[in-house]
Amino acid sequence: MGFKSFIEKLKIPFDMNKKFIGCLKFVYFNKIDILYDLNRGNKAAHYHSIFPPEYGCSKIDPTSITMPTKKSHFIVNIEPTSVLKLSLEFKAEKSDTILASGSLKDNKDYEKYWFLHLNDYIAKFTISSSNSSLNSLWTISSNLKHLLNFWQHIAIDLDVNGMVSIVSNYRFKNQDLISGVSVKYFSGNVSFGSGFTTNSSTLEGLRGCLRDISINQIQIDPRVIYHKYIVIGKISLDNCQLVDPCNSPNACEHGGKCIASLETGNTKCDCDKTGYVGKTCHFCESSIQILTLKSFINYS
């Protein structure tokens, strides 16, 4: 009987799709200390991950959602509401990028669009008349330049009276009242990473990572985004090491030069002068020549 069938037979509520993230201590199986054997390199204990095991347990960071292309994003559906409370941490590779976006209806039932984005390193919340360009009807700035490639925090709190607070790194706060734009309610779909294409040559979807996301007091669990939300493009769950697809283990072997596409996240390898060929420079040229020669001799 398989483990899953065993669980089902016991009628234990157990989600096989949720993986444990954290630390283990004193793990035994049939009186065998698994962690001890793993640390010793005993082949009886196997560890499976693209990252090496760490012994000892420090503070566990939230799982990050890595987006390697400017089109990578996921869409969360929430109940339409007249308020918006959004908080997240991010790492970005560019000073102009979209972090999150969505739409709203004004009091005349006209559709408008909102963007949480970086503009010249500064986080802004902008309401636009278009979903294809940042035609700003109203905007508020965090007035703080964010660092690239470091974890940064940004939060938006918009109440029923139209007062918007934007908070950077939990300390720096700016507040303003929306003027000239009415908000009847925010629509249900919120896109993280991209979702809307702008005509700006500089503003793109996020190439980077998001973590610790909450929207209207709903915490987004990264482990279930593929089962619960709409995912577009390549997304991975890691510690933000795979923003560059060339950082994947063995992307190119034997000194091959890795070239990644910012559009698709796909990689190709330049094997020139390595002595190897193939998709990841994994075939030795001399071995292929020997095989070809043997085939020719056998054929003749």
Helices (H) and strands (E) in the chain, counts: 4, 22
CATH class of 64-238: mainly beta
Q: What is the pLDDT averaged over residues 127-147?
A: 88
Which pLDDT value is given to residue 288? 59
Over the stretch 210-251, which tens digit does the pLDDT of each residue have? Answer: 999 999 989 999 988 888 999 988 888 888 887 887 887 778
Q: Which residues are bridge partners to 296 per DSSP?
A: none
> What is the residue extent of each domain of the chain?
64-238, 257-299
More confidently predicted of 286 and 284: 284
| CATH architecture, range 257-299 | Ribbon (2.10)
Half-sphere exposure of 93 (CA within 13 A, CB side): 18
Q: Is 56 exposed, middle or buried (0-12, 13-18, 19+ CB in 10 A)?
A: exposed
- Both structure tokens of 258: 């890795």
| Res 24 pLDDT > 60 | yes
More confident position, 184 or 30: 184
Cα–Cα distance for residue pair 293/271, rounded to 1 Å = 22
CA angle at 24 for the pair 18 and 210, rounded to the nearest 5°: 50
Give the mean pLDDT of the chain: 82
* Per-residue model confidence as pLDDT tens digits over 258-279: 988 877 778 889 998 888 888 8
pTM above 0.85, yes or no: no
- 189, amino acid identity: N
Which burial class, exposed, middle or buried, applies to 275 when counting CB atoms under 10 A from its CB (0-12, 13-18, 19+)?
exposed
